[in-house]
Structure 1
């Protein structure tokens, strides 16, 4: 009977089963670096200065999608800049970060404009020239863009078609490097991977680092007004962390990522089960020894 009980215990411990319960963790877990506060003082989540708001300060409004607060950025024709700086680390050589963005274009947003309209950018430390990487609305497309054919080669890479009033729901992965062979950009749009390992012609860094800005930055040549709302923005070291932190996980994707292997399978549950089994074996061994001694004494 004792032997049968021991076998039953071992089978129960070593057989595969559901994951062991873990302590609850906040959305994003340890991989999340920063997320804008959409439930209170959303503007307070960002660094602000007069230069970035020279043509208009963003306003905190109720989210058009019903998710707490949002930020509204508006520019009139001829205006150029209304931007904020997320409180996040700069991108430096070898860094890999994921950036989540969720917003909505106004119903009259001039999506077919022939000039740049940047909604998110990673600008080099130098004051002159266009950024190495930016997300823009131009020619009826949401796109990655950068460079200016003056100091660095200009480029465009389509992400998805876009229309006035559309939601923008993206996660951007950037490998920061001055080496064009190493610097890459990936984009998930609306839960679907639409850009994979794109290499900007002069890399994703033009000098020692890139700092992030969000809002609206557009060509002064544009005469039509433009407005958009920003619902959510988050930054992390993994796509899963950023996705979990975003409003109702709107930018989720079931497709694979370059880091999927390290994120999706840590082996922690099976290791814990194995550890428990080893400890239990030791305990059972001690019990068996005691039983043997007791039986031996009973025979005497």
Structure 2
């Protein structure tokens, strides 16, 4: 009886946590069935492979050859898409890993490897992770680039992207971790276009003037409502790091070591064409890198439901009555 009383009071006061994994696109089915569809010229352009992999047993190998244009668009592509239908006001964490082949082309033109596209027909996606020359970039609404980093080939890059979807720059925000280091603090930005919904696309989409074959690998995509939902479980023998271990960002464990992968090779020389910029039109270049401004205090990661203290007192009263009745 006492055990039951303690459990009921704890449940009433704490309440259930409203969190969880929303979707996985990690290819652990051994095929592309986790995704809504494909845009590809042939099956060999989007292959589920067993090597190299970042986590689990499978990963995606995306290949683009000049002329690959399955939807008669402004660029060349082979992509998967997931009709996730992110709507204004929703907030999620996304984690995934990407590796660029050792001979990945160096071109001063856009090469998109992950994007959240709007459900309208035309224009640049509101969120795109892309390569330009020897840089990886994150660009939003085709005009703001809050993050760039050197392109490194032959190693896995882990991204954790926290976003609140909104066309209002005062409401929408992003945070970004690269290899467990926070590289973009919480920053208010427009993350979608007004009156639209966003959906995920990954693979490779690039300007059609690029000649060399491009290969990029994707793995471990997961979407959740809290940061803890998208992080992989710690290995059994990981142990507890000392207090002064100095992890890159509080609350994030260090990234797991990558499986054996080919050593990075020197980048190949690229063309000298002007920036292609917006992928869907290929006309105007991406915007510059603005100063990143830390917004106000974060109101919390994810959400939880807490029971009322009055509910706990009511439960205690009920249990007291049950005890009295039991004594009689």
Length-normalised TM-score, structure 2: 0.63
Richer in helix (by share): 1
Say whether residues 1:132 and 2:121 are aligned partners: no
2:179 maps to 190
Structure 2: state its 5+ residue gaps: 7-17, 69-75, 237-247, 253-296
In 2, Cα distance between equivalents of 1:30 and 1:262: 7
- Cα deviation 1:197-256 (Å, max 9, x = unaligned): 3344x54224321111111111112222211111211112222112248999xx996259
- CA deviation after TM superposition for structure 1 residue 34, in Å: 0.7
Larger radius of gyration: 1
* Counterpart in the other structure of 1:58: 46
Q: C-alpha deviations, 1:242-282, integer Å up to 9, x for none?
A: 2248999xx9962597534857xx889xxxx9999989877
Distance 1:229 1:261, change over 3 A: closer
What is the root-mean-square deviation of aligned Cα atoms in Å? 4.1
Corresponding residue for residue 162 of structure 2? 173
Write the distance in 1 (CA, Å) between the matches of 2:115 and 2:141: 12
CA 1:102 to 1:220, structure 2 compared with 1: closer, same or farther past 3 Å? same
TM alignment of 1:39-54, pairs within 5 A: 39-49=28-38, 52-54=39-41
Equivalent residue number for residue 241 of structure 1:
229
Give yes or no for contact 1:81–1:218 (8 Å, CA) kept in 2. yes
Q: How does 1:37-116 map to 2 (within 5 A)?
A: 37-49=26-38, 52-54=39-41, 57-64=45-52, 65=54, 67-77=56-66, 79=68, 80-88=76-84, 90-110=85-105, 112-116=106-110
Q: CA deviation at 1:162?
A: 2.6
Query: What is the rounded CA distance, in whole Å, between the counterparts of 1:236 and 1:180 in structure 2?
Result: 23
Q: Does 1:118 align with 2:105?
A: no
- The alpha carbon displacement at 1:78 in A equals 5.0
**Number of residues paired by the alignment?**
256
Structure 1 residues 237 and 132: CA distance shift in structure 2, 3 A: same
Question: Using the alignment, how far apart are the partners of 1:257 and 1:109 within structure 2?
Answer: 38
3-state DSSP of counterpart to 2:62: strand
Residue 143 of structure 1 pairs with residue 130 of structure 2: no
CA distance in 1, matches of 2:48, 2:30: 8
Is the 2:27–2:48 contact (alpha carbons within 8 Å) kept by the matching residues of 1? Answer: no
| Residue 120 of structure 1, CA deviation | 1.1
Aligned to 1:232: 220
**Whole-Å Cα distance in 1 between the matches of residues 50 and 159 of structure 2?**
21
Gaps of 5+ in 1: 1-8, 14-28, 149-153, 291-300
Deviating 4+ runs (over 3 angstroms): 54-57, 244-248, 255-258, 260-263, 273-288
Do the aligned residues in 2 keep the contact of 1:243 with 1:252 (CA within 8 Å)?
Answer: no
- Alpha-carbon contact 1:141-1:158 (below 8 Å) kept: no
